[in-house]
A and B are shown apart, each in its own frame.
Chain A
């Protein structure tokens, strides 16, 4: 879905856009799918009469049945319950792992782009240092150092992913800084931080939000990969990446154990990408 080229996100945005436009169909379609995920994540586990973490060795690896709609896993847990319960882990963790970098990266990028000089040197060089390491290696090292779990994953992601936002926002702010309406605000005597907050940043926001959307997809995938490798979310908590890994030995007999969480990931990723894409089109109209 998202790749490293996301770090050099587009800086071309129209100077003026017409207000009140309908969101493109694909964005609305994507939002509908995400809405379904939310509903499934909130109500699914409540409606199913199973504890997603309760093992029952006697019931292990059962095929789909009237009782267990998607069968059971290698420890005899209801697979559908786990699949839906994982939404409660994957989505919030990925959201926060993209949200904190957005906050920090946007702030740093805005200051660097608007004031230039020393703030810009500090921010740009720090970004260079972070980017000098391969993303996954850096992430693994950080997660190892901080210990497994959701909190350390979010922390580690923040340390790394702010760079993308900082670069994007810095570019946007540098472009906007030269616009006449910013000059007009300076002539009217508004202090620099106020100009940045009320005149520059609101115009950089659409691009940032679009990047945020695709970053969430990225973070879901990263979280799953780490969990797959065993350093993300720890068992027995349900998590798609971990579930894919755990289902691997049974790929021939019970392929659904790996394929279903994979599908959950994929559909979610596509939905978010559709929203990001649609928003991008929408903001350019």
Chain B
């Protein structure tokens, strides 16, 4: 597996509370991901699992406490130069606040085009129009300010802003969470088409499992700052190994109702990310937790489809249960 974009042992701690006894919020706990060029990598998890923090580290908005991000084998830190910044762009969750309300679409795009000298000055306007066409927006939207655009239109403009820099990697942080179903479909289609046509790599962050299944080639499931399961999207959905993945999938409402008793509902709620938990972070909610889970943290293990659990669900494919028997 090529590791074009490689996240290695990334940890992010935030100090919260301040004062004499600041608490440490462990947003990311040693996360490693390898992403192949030209693929879509999905990251799913519930609020507070660290998926947005991961996006912010990748896009250079948040400094990692430990670990590094490698692109083409070269480290990508916070102090990126102009050319490095251009390579990774991001589409944010809330189209209400991700566009400057005081700036017209045209000014916003031209500022970026001229700052990065993407096209000669006299071609900026033509490029702006081309970008509008790329995101299926009428050209007259260029003169508008975000206030007069609908949510779906704003998200298209936000995508155009990212595309303006011709990035190699597009990070989409819950790009459709604020949109209606009918609009979500058009934005998802647009993103898929762009990835296919432009050969971009996309990191797609979402809490919506159904959307991830449609869009992503590979995926990772996060819980409390850690990856608990990762693999090809089809494999993870059809054969979820981690009890959390299993519960997450089961909890998603479906159009074709499942038979009753098909899954176990998760007890209680996610512990606070401030809590210090010995052993497996999921054990408090896990139906399978045993004594070993309280003392020993499981390690993400396996081949292409890896899982971090002492008692992974026996899958249709053999899985190396190195962590549960190795000690």
B88 close to A (CB within 8 Å): yes
Given A17-B147, A19-B145, A180-B94: A187 and B103 interface contact (C-beta under 8 Å): no
CB < 8 Å neighbour of A180 from B89, B92, B112: B92
How many A residues have CB within 8 A of the partner chain?
22
Given A180-B98, A187-B88: A19 and B93 interface contact (C-beta under 8 Å): no
Complex-state Cα separation, A53 to B171, whole angstroms = 72
Given A187-B61, A188-B89: A16 and B101 interface contact (C-beta under 8 Å): yes
B156 close to A (CB within 8 Å): no
Given A189-B80, A198-B103: A16 and B92 interface contact (C-beta under 8 Å): no
Complex-state Cα separation, A203 to B102, whole angstroms = 6
- Shortest distance in angstroms between A195's beta carbon and chain B's nearest beta carbon? 10
B131 close to A (CB within 8 Å): no
- Shortest distance in angstroms between A226's beta carbon and chain B's nearest beta carbon? 38
Which secondary structure dominates where chain A touches chain B? helix
**Chain A contacts of B148 at CB under 8 A?**
18-19
- Shortest distance in angstroms between B250's beta carbon and chain A's nearest beta carbon? 32
Q: Report yes or no: B93 in contact with A180, Cβ–Cβ below 8 A.
A: yes
- Shortest distance in angstroms between B80's beta carbon and chain A's nearest beta carbon? 7
Which secondary structure dominates where chain B touches chain A? loop
Binary B-proximity of A197-214 (CB < 8 A = 1, otherwise 0): 011001101000000000
Within 8 A of A (CB), among B98-124: 98-103, 111-112, 115-116
Complex-state Cα separation, A16 to B154, whole angstroms = 12
CB < 8 Å neighbour of A186 from B61, B81, B101, B158: B61
CB < 8 Å neighbour of B101 from A15, A183, A185, A190: A15
A66 close to B (CB within 8 Å): no
**Chain A contacts of B111 at CB under 8 A?**
190, 198
How many B residues have CB within 8 A of the partner chain?
35
**Chain B contacts of A19 at CB under 8 A?**
144-145, 147-148
- Shortest distance in angstroms between A116's beta carbon and chain B's nearest beta carbon? 14
Q: Report yes or no: B101 in contact with A17, Cβ–Cβ below 8 A.
A: yes
- Shortest distance in angstroms between A174's beta carbon and chain B's nearest beta carbon? 15
**Chain B contacts of A1 at CB under 8 A?**
none
CB < 8 Å neighbour of B161 from A17, A184, A198: A184
**Chain A contacts of B2 at CB under 8 A?**
none
**Chain B contacts of A180 at CB under 8 A?**
92-94, 97-98
B59 close to A (CB within 8 Å): yes
Binary A-proximity of B196-236 (CB < 8 A = 1, otherwise 0): 00000000000000000000000000000000000000000
CB < 8 Å neighbour of B100 from A187, A189, A199, A205: A199
Q: Report yes or no: A187 in contact with B60, Cβ–Cβ below 8 A.
A: yes
**Beyond A180-B97, A185-B100, 20 extra complex contacts between A and B, CB < 8 Å:** A15-B97, A16-B101, A16-B147, A17-B147, A18-B147, A183-B90, A183-B92, A183-B98, A184-B92, A184-B98, A184-B99, A186-B60, A187-B88, A187-B89, A188-B112, A188-B161, A189-B86, A199-B100, A202-B102, A205-B102
* Chain A interfacial positions (CB closer than 8 Å to B): 15-19, 179-181, 183-190, 194, 198-199, 202-203, 205
Closest 6 pairs (CB-CB, A-B):
A189-B85, A180-B98, A202-B102, A180-B92, A181-B100, A18-B147
